Amino acid sequence: MSDAIQHLWTLNNNPVLMGPLLQVFYKNLELKPKSFLLSYLILPMVLYRPSRNFLVKARKTSTIRTYLKEKDRIYGLGSRVESYKSLTNLSFQRCIDNQSLQLCDNLSVRLLELETDHQTPSDMIKSAGNLGMIFVDDDIVSIFRKLGLKKL
């Protein structure tokens, strides 16, 4: 029974589906030093339903403070970051191999090409883009500090 659950998880959470989330996120995020570290926040925040419900409706005036108004959005974020770390690495590697993202010398990430033919659900795509929009005004250290994350 556990093999069946593992296979379903693999089908739903694979690098092919998650790669476009990274691309859309970096499309909306300006080039920042060490922005690669934010990659580890995308999947745990977009795939978690309470968080996605906020992100899909986020506006240009939304900030990390408005995101944090309801604590259930960040509940267990540290453990989710840890559990999605390998999937994030595989998704990012796939984007680099497809030459849609580029990792620069100062660990900033540049969008080279946006995939348009993907099977990723539209609410996840919109949430990832809005997350990039929310993070645009803050530096990397303050984003992690505000979210209560001390390590990756």
Residue 7 in domain: no
Sign of the dihedral through C-alpha 74, 80, 84, 85: positive
Q: DSSP character for 9?
A: H
- Amino acid at the residue 142: S
User: Among candidates 74, 51, 72, which has minimal Cα distance to 131?
Assistant: 51
Give residue-wise pLDDT tens across range 24-78: 999 998 888 999 999 999 999 999 999 999 999 999 888 899 998 988 888 889 9
Domain of 113 in residue numbering reads as: 15-147
Residue 54 in domain: yes
The number of folded domains in the chain is: 1
Residue reference for tokens 């030093």: 33
Give residue-wise pLDDT tens across range 88-119: 999 999 999 999 999 998 889 989 888 777 78
Residue 24 in domain: yes
Residue 3 in domain: no
109-111 and 101-103 strand pairing:
antiparallel
Residue 5 in domain: no
Single pTM value for the model: 0.89
Sign of the dihedral through C-alpha 132, 133, 136, 140: negative
Residue 93 in domain: yes
Residue 152 in domain: no
